[in-house]
Structure 1
Amino acid sequence: VNADILIGTDDDDTLRGFGGDDSIAGRGGDDVIQGDDDDDDVQGNQGNDRIRGSGGDDLLRGGTGNDNVGGGTGSDRCFGGDGNDTLNGRDGDDRLRGGEGNDTLTGDAGNDRLWGGAGNDTLNGGAGNDILRGQRGEDILIGGAGNDQLFGGADNDLLDGSSGNDQLDGGRGSDTLIGDSGDDILIGSFAIRVNAGEFDILQGGSGSDVFVLGSAAGVFYNGEGEAVIVDWNANEDVIQLSGDADQYILIEDNFVGDETTDLAIASSANESDIYAILQDITTFVLADDAVFV
């Protein structure tokens, strides 16, 4: 089967590969490019291009412009480049990178890896056990079905694990983490930086969830910043803390929401240093409801 080398013009071109491992470059203009059944290398270059890989394990690059890039049945690598791009891996275990701009990435079927890059991106893993990284910008990450790993990165992000047993890590910024169904692990803060100023909202959803407020390296939300746990369930959930119970005190007061009493987990050395607030909760016992590392 012969491999084709197709090069477009600076106008709006329609290019199709057919059989073989094709190399296709759109150049300028708003191009429509179709790879076909083998392992194709497609570049949109300049313009707002529409690129499809079809079968095979394809390398698909949008280039500059607002591109629409879709894989096919193989395990594809899709790059948006500059501009506000739309990437869809479709079937297979795909790798999607948004690049610059406000991009929309969908893994679809398979165990996919998605990187948002710069800009305010929306990442949806779809089915499968996916890894999503928002990176820079205020991003929205949705795990979809499967046991997913979501990493917000810099800035203020929204992470939703959806179904499955997911791990959510907000990273820097003031993030909102929603575990949804399944037994999830929620980590809002960026490790143990003092006075990081991170104010995170953690919602486990149904299932037995772990809210991580510290590690063996130290306490999270030390100094300025705190986590608000909005749906603590003593029958199912666990809070992970650093050190031992003597480092903490519990304070009852109305901290968030309406006039309902909340419970704060604070430093025993400085009760004004609040690490977390359990919204609308007053029944919490450090020895029973927390694990220490």
Structure 2
Amino acid sequence: MKIVEVGPRDGLQNEDRALDAATRVRYIELILASGIDRVEAVSFARPDRVPQMAYAEEVMAAVPRPDGVRYSGLVMNPKGIERAIASSIDEANIVIVATDEFSRRNQGTTVRESLDRLPAMIDALGAAGIPTTVTIGAAFGCPFEGEVPVDRIGMIAAEIAALPIAELSLADTIGVGVPGDVRARVARVQSETDLPLRLHLHNTRNTGYANAVAGIEAGVQTLDASTGGIGGCPFAPAATGNIATEDLLYLAERSGWNPTVDRDRVIEATQFITQQLGVRPEALLGRAGGFP
């Protein structure tokens, strides 16, 4: 099992308090001290729409760049691609939302329009030597259109997988999935592609960790998580945080998955960022402690 730490991006984008670049860089430094080596550090969204993600260029200019660490940036459109390339990100994450209404609210396009412009975006990133993950957002359910059929996810995944990408991710953006949903969607996507799979899980209805287990058992290699369980989507009503990195690490250790991350250092990062935000972490490990 591998972890992508998404706290600096997804964790911060839905919080009321927008943090300056220096604070965000310090947060990333604390994350790296735990041994995590893939970090979704920024989003190249429009600052007027997501003010919490302003100063992406300043953050990327100031983060440490030790060997083996890879920084990802979320990109939504060709302008975001230009900014991402100029900021020397190591990986890009492009989101294709599974439903038209959510896609319009999140990106200003239909699903078909997003898919049509995807090849040029991937080509531009590839020409700059930047590998791309494509995430299918709202893959487990939509706050506006409701249930999302498994076959719809399969058809979108098949079209995306025909492009030169490095990884495909399924996002439970509003945290409605259960383990059976994970197994069904992962199996459907696996029938279309052998690309490495990743899951982005929110714990809105307290099923995120069960879904993580189901995903790993189904063959998913990588899970997104955020320190403290902070996060959410500013364009999804009642969206809450991601599964918490430290709680996921406890689950992984006790399950014999042997992650090479120091969860005590993750808790230090959680304490720092939640104090800066003025919120209480959703994660439980910092309160209960490990075992034995």
| TM-score normalized by the length of structure 1 | 0.26
More strand by share: 1
Q: Which has the higher contact order (CA 8 A, sep 6+)?
A: 2
Q: TM-score, normalised by structure 2?
A: 0.26
Query: Which structure: larger Rg?
Result: 1
Higher helix share: 2
